[in-house]
Amino acid sequence: MIKKIKASSSEKFIFVFLIILSVATFSTYFVVKNKCLFIKNFNPKDITFREPNNIAILNAPCGNVIIELYPNVSPNAVQRFVTLIRSNAYENIAFHRVIENKLIQAGDLEFGKKGKLDYGKIGTGKSGLGTIKSEIDSSFNYTKGSVGLARTFKNDTEDSQFFIILQDEPLFEGEYTPVGKVLYGIEVLKKIKYQRNSEYILRPDFINSFKMLN
Amino acid sequence: MNIIRAILLLFFFITPLKANTIYNLIKIPNLEIYEINTENKLKYLYAVRPFRLGTQKNIVCSNANKKDLKEKYKIIYKNLNRYSYDYLKKINLKYIVLCENLSISELYTAGIPDNIMKTLILDIQFNEDYFERVIHHEVFHIIYLQYKEIFNDEEWIKFNNPKFKYAKCSTCTKNIGLEKYKETKGFFTEYSKSTASEDMAEVYSHMIFLKKEEINQIRKSDPILNNKILYIENKIKQIDNTFTF
């Protein structure tokens, strides 16, 4: 005859605790894994824009980044940027340089393409359209969310690479050609993969798509 | 080849992250913004800790104390504010770094110009008596570096007495006096006799610093300096014809 053993209250407590712990661990795994969980994804169709023709939508792993372009500030740079956006040149291009809460950079069309990444050369690639002149004489406040064209150490070497700043950078004025500003989705940019010990990213995130609203 | 690539990549990914905007822009560490909202868009930065530069780390400068900074900034600002944004853009000068006890290879110096980085490092404790004029002297070095093809040392040397010879370099002589000669005889100061480019910088800084009447007087009494002044005037006009001394 099997004698039924009654669980003590401490055993019951440990049992309940283990169940709670396993549920918490299991759910945390999904929460932690999904870095985009609390990021709002803006739908441009739900928003009314003052200048809809100057709106570009960059789709990153955590959602849309809605950017207003400033052709009045930097006409040539914006023209180049729009040309590349309209030709879908930025699709599947890596965010190859990311500094936590400071800056993200992408747009190396030559060495930053998904499947053809060249870690030795990334950041030095060209678009094939040639370089354009820097447009740095206008006053422009490089506040958080500003978008500019990257260049080499010299002026007049802007091509396809661009950066978006995640904090105010007043010293960028007069250094880099501005092209626009993020209106919505700065939190999406903060979730782009970065490394604490390097500006350049191993197995980086990619631009899913980059399109003009109209 | 693959091993070298792997080593390079490893180095690339273990390099510590320096997310310092000023360092990224002008490659000088330990600086902070002093003032950036100026009319001619010059950006004034100051050393918060000593820094060393150059491949040999032979350029050294210390952080300045706040009181000195405040005092000297006013003087530097007043002097550099006479240059327009357009002029500064043409000569490629944008950043002014303020620090103390600036030296290069253990020789103290008033300033170090770097036209590539658009930067002029100034020692705010340099010779009180000639501090203001020396600022313009250092500005000229930026101009000289930026327009090497315009300023010709050989042409300049011809203005001097044929028997005169400059020292081999600006630090190769003990004659470094900055006091203006009472009788100029072709040179504004003792330091003018060090090298052709230092002589040009001395002429330029005196043209900026002295009153117009004084310069006219010197032009009348010293034919060599008259030629030198005319030379600098013409060359600066080539760079920016709106600039007036």
* Domain boundaries of chain B, sorted by first residue: 14-127, 147-245
ipTM above 0.85, yes or no: no
> B173 pLDDT band (50/70/90 cuts)?
low
Report whether A210 contacts A85 (CB < 8 A): yes
Q: Which chain B residues are closer than 8 Å to A195 by Cβ? A: 13, 17
Q: Does residue A174 sit within a domain?
A: yes
Partners of A65 in beta bridges: A58
Interchain pair A99, B19: CB under 8 A: yes
Residues of chain B contacting A175 with CB distance shorter than 8 Å:
25
Say which residues have a Cβ less than 8 Å from residue A101's Cβ, sequence separation at least 6.
A166, A167, A190
Percentages of chain B per state (helix, strand, coil), in multiples of 5: 45, 15, 40
Extract the residue ranges of chain A whose pLDDT is less than 50. none
CA–CA dist B185, B189 (Å, integer): 10
CB within 8 Å of B59: residues ≥ 6 apart: B52, B53, B102, B103, B104, B112, B121
Model pLDDT, residue B16? 47
Residue A38 lies in a domain: no
Residue reference for tokens 């903060």: A190
The B residues from 170 to 209 touching A (CB cutoff 8 Å) are: none
Q: What is the pLDDT of residue A42?
A: 94
- 3-class SS at A59? strand
Residue in A156, A171, A196, A203 to test binding to B, most B beta-carbons within 10 Å: A171
- Residue A132 domain-assigned? yes
> Is A111 contained in some domain?
yes
Decide if A61 is inside a domain. Answer: yes
Which helix (H) or strand (E) segment holds residue B173: the answer is: none
Q: What is the 8-class DSSP label of residue A202?
A: S
Tell me the residue range of the domain where A77 lies: 44-212
Give a yes or no: residue A113 inside a domain: yes
pLDDT of residue B156: 96
Question: Which amino acid, one-letter code, is at A36?
Answer: C
CATH of the domain at A119: 2.40.100.10
Q: Is A73 a member of any domain? A: yes
CA of B82: how far to CAs of A2, A195, B219, in Å? 102, 45, 23
pLDDT at B2: 63
Q: In A, which residues are within 8 Å of B25 by CB distance? A: 171, 175
Q: Which residues pair with B47 in a beta bridge?
A: B31
Question: Which amino acid, A181?
Answer: K
pLDDT digits (tens, 9 = 90+) for B13-39: 444 454 588 998 999 999 999 999 999
pLDDT of residue A30: 67
If one counts the domains in chain A, the total is 1
Extract long-range pairs of A23-32: CB within 8 Å, 24+ residues apart: none
